Structure 1
Amino acid sequence: MLVSLSVARRLIELGSRLSPLPDEELTASNRVMGCAAQVWLTVRLEPGTGLVQLQGWSDSELSRGLVALLAEGLSGLTPEQMLAVPTSRLQQLLLGSLGAAAVAPSRSGGLANMLEAAKKRVRLLAAPATMATFPSLRITADVLEPQGAFAEAQARYLRPEQEQVARLASVLRAKSIGVVAHFYMDPEVQGVLSSAAEQWPHIAISDSLVMADTAVRMAEAGCRYICVLGVDFMSENVRAILDEAGHTDVKRGAGCLPGP
Structure 2
Amino acid sequence: MTAIDDLLADFEILDDWEDRYRHVIELGRDLPALPDTDHAPGNKVKGCASQVWITSAVDDASGEPVLTFQGDSDALIVKGLIAIAFMIYSGKTAQQILSTDAGEVLGRLGLSGHLTQQRSNGFASMIQRIKSDAQTALHAEPPRFESP
Please, what TM-score do these two structures have when normalized by structure 1? 0.43
CA distance in 1, matches of 2:25, 2:98: 28
CA distance in 2, matches of 1:78, 1:9: 30
Whether 2:99 is the aligned partner of 1:84: answer: yes
Q: 1:93 to 1:107 in 2, by over 3 A?
A: farther
Task: Answer with 1 or 2: which has the greater Rg.
Answer: 1
Contact 2:28 2:76 in 1 (8 A): yes
RCO higher in structure (CA 8 A, sep ≥6): 2
Whether 2:129 is the aligned partner of 1:117: answer: yes
CA distance in 2, matches of 1:99, 1:124: 29
Q: Secondary structure at the match of 2:19?
A: helix
CA distance in 2, matches of 1:41, 1:96: 24
CA distance in 1, matches of 2:116, 2:103: 10
CA distance in 2, matches of 1:121, 1:99: 25
Give the drift of 1:67.
0.3
CA distance in 1, matches of 2:91, 2:30: 17
Q: 1:24 to 1:100 in 2, by over 3 A?
A: closer
Whether 2:74 is the aligned partner of 1:59: answer: yes
Q: 1:45 to 1:28 in 2, by over 3 A?
A: same
Unaligned runs of 5+ in 2: 1-16, 142-148
Matching residue within 1, 10, 14 for 2:27: 14
Please, what TM-score do these two structures have when normalized by structure 2? 0.71
CA distance in 1, matches of 2:51, 2:111: 24
Contact 1:15 1:64 in 2 (8 A): yes
Identity score, percent = 30
CA distance in 1, matches of 2:74, 2:18: 19
Unaligned runs of 5+ in 1: 130-260
Question: How many pairs align?
Answer: 123
